[in-house]
Structure 1
Amino acid sequence: MKPAGPDSLRRNRDFQVLCVGQGLSMLGSAASALAMPLLVLSSTGSPLRAGLVEAVWVGSLALASLPGGTVADRFDRRLVLLVCQVAQAMVSLVLAIAVHSGHTPLPLLLGVGAVMGALTAPSIAAGLAALTQIVPESQLNTALTVNRARGQAAYLLGPVLGGWLFTLSPGYPFWLDTASFGAAAASIYAVRTPLSTGAAAAERKSSWVRQAGAGLRFVWTDPVLRRVSLIAAGQNFVMDGTYLAVVVVSSHRGSAGLSTGTIAAASAVGALTGVLLMPRISRAVHPTHILFVSGVSCAGLIAAMALSGTAALLALLMGGCSMAISLCSSLTTVARMLRTPNHLQGRVHSAVGLVLMAAPPLGSTLTGLLLEHVPAPAVFLALGILLIPLALITPRLDTSVPLESVGIVKGD
């Protein structure tokens, strides 16, 4: 990992180049993500098939998570990022041409979803790992804030842009996605910082199965990472269930449009607010206190939903929850970055990411089952109470390093 340096991120050329390129890629992906179900519905008229395409994308991403982390640690990360972005550009180009020609059979759409999901896994792992090589430790928290803010902005603007382009021509969002992947590839090519993994030759020769499990083993044996990962997974579980409960309750109260529009917007604004506040708060408040207070605050906000009488108030409380969880998420991500050796960065991020991906579907499924048999206020109370034990296991974080580094020291 790079040592702390005096220059600000504004003068860090490689970070700025990579940030702009990946931001454009996120914008294009967000636009095409909205256009894909619209395309399936317009060509087949089947909501089931639209859901199937989405499920294939998510499923392939989950299946490729552990192997993707191994790829990000086994090969030069610049090469991994470059290959993934170029391959995604080519797949998106094939889809754009198919849409333009009016020939989009379901097998093609399923294949595109599977390939895109599989390529996204190593790209995410290599991108997070590369950040620790490009940015000094003292600026890592700020860099992560910039990345998260960029992502939130892309996910807010991308669907709007994708919907507008789709009305002009169904193929336009996919042409945009192709161009955005090309821009991301160009930015990666322009990065000058060496992005080698530092893996020993003996490790590179070991089996892929053993390497894939190394990330999980490292997280399990590190007490701080084990706890913060459990906290993050539990919070994802509760938040997805809470979101479903809020939407269902708002819909039952005759606010279906509000439940899908305002609540989603409130969650996004809350998350973005948390991201922007994180650097300032981390300089003034001990990281252990941030994790604990954010978790308890979110528990209280969810419990308060049991007493809420309007959909607008539910949306406001949901925004507050998203802000609190965003603060926790920033801390847990930086914790992983600082405590993980360079040669394990990709596998650790992928291992934790797989766990975090598994938690939301379980949360929404359990919440849906409870809503069938239990009054909504009781469901909100139960979800809020689940966050209390997670807050109580907040690890004690070392204060011997600067608070700008979130007060967490690197592991051996």
Structure 2
Amino acid sequence: MATPFSVLTANRDFRRLFAAELVVFGSDWFVMVPLLVLLPELTGSGVWGALVLAADTGITAVLLPYAGTVADRLDRRTILIAANVAALVATLLLFVVRSAATAPLAVVAIGAVAVAKAFYSPAASAALPNVVDPADLAAANAVAGSAWGTMTIVGASLGGIVSSAAGPYVSFAVAAASLFTAAVLTFTIRRPLQAPRDPSAPPPRTWHALVEALRYIGARPRIRALVTVKSAVGLGNGVLTVFPLLAGLYGVGALGAGLLFAVRGAGALVGPLVMRPVLNHRSWLLPGLALSMSLYGLGYLGVALAPWFPLVLALVFVAHFAGGTNWVLSNYALQGEVPDRLRGRVFATDMMLATLAISASQLGAALFVDHVDERVILASCGLITLVYAIGWRIATRNQSLDDATPSSLADVTPGGEPSGDSPRGAESPTV
């Protein structure tokens, strides 16, 4: 049985795809952390920082459906490299942001980076099953699922340290160099990142492709369940808005706020690795998803009631241990259910719903944060996730994935030959 370590060390192409994703996530923190400190210093206002965050989340959510269509129509390697280069150019624009008059350029730059991320994310998710053998897919997902948590700890910490020691513009330079490195790593991947397409069949028009994907999701209860599961944690994500206020409530200041974000990342990192055995039992996936959503909600209900800051840190870790597990379980289940030709669009829909849920939660928390106690917001977010988890499990109680056919087999014709939708194609390139 493959382990995260074995698939990472033995598979050159997966290792490079994973490394590229790490670099991309890290560059995001090297841009955002120093920029959110720089803008208030230049303008004396927190508005521009809020606009930057809104542009980063909102633009990505709006573009994801179209970006998923592109991931299914064009070469995914080209999409990933182009997205890295576009984000690099946009990051260079931040060097012009040096006064209150040029602050709007930060929103433009981050908006452009968000466009690039919208195209990068579904293409990378859809490409993963094509660079590993089917038997290694569970272990590969455990590794890939740790990327965000790893860079939340490492990227956010280093971004803040470099910005404090050398200034924000050095951080921007590091981000640009990182994006160039990611493009080079992706270029050196040998395996094709999508299954062969029928050259005689013209690619579907964008609107038709979107409608096809939505009909595919709507006609399959299991897919509908899987593309809505991340929204539970997303709707509870407003807790992040009160992290700095929570640290102040316990009298631990900026250090405490940093610890809260670091523990959040640590939980998201450890969860997918510890819970990897669940991926080997398809019948456990839906109950595991319901349990992970519930544990996230219960974790933040506990945070709202905790009397000591160390207990708060422990509960935040537990909540995001569950949140990271939720993300990986749902990604793995979708990869096993959806054929390659639709995978980019389905993953884009999945990420769009999660992103919109996060935006709605953070906006709701922002509306009430100056008017109610921080603990009320924490408890409300936790309760929303918990209620969602219970409702989701009731709605899916008669479903199971243990009789599902993995996409690597679902795309094989009755005669035994791989169809044009097979994630691996007619041949398996040697590593």
CA deviations 1:331-356 (Å, max 9, x no partner) are 11111111111111111111111111
Match of 1:63 in 2: 62
**Equivalence for 2:214:** 216
Q: Is the contact made by 2:300 and 2:379 (CA closer than 8 Å) also made in structure 1?
A: no
Counterpart amino acid of 2:402? T
- 1:275 matched to 2:277? The reply is no
Matching residue within 100, 106, 109 for 1:109: 106
Cα deviation code 1:46-90 (max 9, x no counterpart): 211122122223222122111111111111111111211122222
2:13 alignment counterpart: 14
The 3-state SS of whatever aligns with 2:67 is helix
The answer as to whether partners of 1:34 and 1:162 remain within 8 angstroms in 2 is yes
Report whether the alignment pairs 1:74 with 2:73. yes
Q: CA deviation at 1:369?
A: 6.4
2:149 to 137, 141, 152: 152
Aligned to 2:390: 388
Match of 1:4 in 2: none
Q: Deviations over 1:116-137 (max 9, x none)?
A: 1111111111111111111122
CA distance in 1 between counterparts of 2:152 and 2:213 reads 29
Task: Check conservation: 1:295, 1:328, Cα contact below 8 A.
Answer: yes
Q: 1:281: Cα distance to partner?
A: 4.1
Moved more, 199-208 or 104-113: 199-208
Instruction: Decide whether the 8 Å contact of 2:247 with 2:253 is kept in 1.
Output: yes
Please give the alpha-carbon distance, in whole angstroms, between the structure 2 residues aligned to 1:121 and 1:143. 22
| Residues 1:22 and 1:247: Cα distance change in structure 2 (over 3 Å) | closer
319-328 or 126-135: which moved more?
319-328
Residue-by-residue CA offset, 1:313-339 (whole Å, 9 max, x unaligned): 233222212112222221111111111
Shift of 1:108: 2.3
Percent identical pairs in the alignment equals 22
* CA apart distance, 1:279: 1.5
* d(CA) in 1 for partners of 2:241, 2:124: 31
Match of 2:402 among 389, 399, 404: 399
TM, length-normalised to structure 2: 0.81
Using structure 1 for the length normalisation, give the TM-score.
0.84
Indicate if the aligned counterparts of 2:290 and 2:390 stay in contact, CA closer than 8 A: no
**Aligned partners of 2:175 and 2:246: how far apart in 1?**
36
Deviations 1:353-393 (A, max 9, x none): 11111112323444566785798397477434443223333
* 2:31 and 2:171 in contact (8 A); partners too: yes
Instruction: Give the whole-Å Cα distance in 2 for the aligned partners of 1:114 and 1:14.
Output: 30
1:53 and 2:55 matched:
no
Distance change in 2, residues 1:41/1:214 (3 Å)? farther
Q: In the TM superposition, what is the alpha-carbon distance from 1:254 to its structure 2 partner?
A: 4.9
Given that 1:31 and 1:162 are in contact with CA atoms closer than 8 Å, whether structure 2 keeps it comes out as yes
- Structure 1 pair 340–251 and aligned structure 2 pair: CA distance change class (3 A): same
Matched residue type, 1:312: P
Q: Tell me whether 271-280 or 331-340 shows the greater mean CA deviation.
A: 271-280
* Mapped partners of 2:256, 2:161: distance in 1: 22
Number of aligned positions between the proteins: 400
Match of residue 260, structure 1, among 236, 257, 280? 257
Aligned with 2:27: secondary structure? helix
**Which is richer in helix?**
1
Of 63-72 and 305-314, deviating more is 305-314
Change (3 A) 1:89 1:373: closer
**What are the ranges of 5 or more consecutive residues in structure 2 without an aligned counterpart?**
1-5, 413-431
Deviation at 1:27, TM superposition (A): 1.6
The counterpart of 1:189, out of the listed 181, 187, 190, is: 187
Structure 2 match to 1:170: 168
Inter-CA distance 12–381: structure 2 relative to 1 (3 Å threshold)? closer
Give the corresponding residue for 2:415: none
* Matched AA of 2:317: G
1:18 is displaced (CA, Å) by 1.9
The amino acid of 1:348's aligned partner reads V
